[in-house]
Amino acid sequence: MWSYVRAAAGVSGLYLAPRWPRLGWSVNIAAQALWFTYGLATHQYGFLISSGFYSGAYLLLLRATRKKQLETPAGFEPAKNCFAGSPVSHSGTAS
């Protein structure tokens, strides 16, 4: 049963991360607590090290996501291709 719970938690976090990054990375960090607990319970100490590294990576991704969200103004959308259908080329000269 443990393996299904751990797998579901990890896959859920990875599924959520592209859509809702803060939620996805937070779920992944929480999933590492399951791996850490599993490592302790089964005396497989490699899982402790592994969950530490994965947690660190997910914390960095969560921090980068937060920083990016704070830097991006609310309602900002990247510009669409403004040159599509324009008689001016991308180099700025008329075609």
Identify the CA nearest to 10 among candidates 35, 43, 38: 35
- Show the domain range for 51: 2-71
CB neighbour class for 65 (10 Å; exposed up to 12, middle 13-18, buried from 19): middle
Query: Does residue 28 belong to any structural domain of this protein?
Result: yes
Q: What pLDDT digit, counting tens, does each position of 3-43 carry? A: 888 889 889 998 998 899 889 989 999 999 999 999 999 99
Is 55 part of a structural domain of the chain?
yes
- Residues 12 and 37: beta-carbon distance below 8 Å: no
Return the amino acid letter for 72: T
- Identify whether the C-beta of residue 6 lies closer than 8 Å to the C-beta of residue 27: no
- As to burial, measured by CB atoms within 10 angstroms (0-12 exposed, 13-18 middle, 19+ buried), residue 30 is middle
Tens of pLDDT, residue by residue over 50-84, are: 999 999 999 998 898 888 877 766 666 655 555 55
Give domain status of residue 93, yes or no.
no
85, part of any domain: no
Domain count, the chain: 1
Flag whether 88 is in a domain.
no
Q: pTM score, two decimals?
A: 0.66
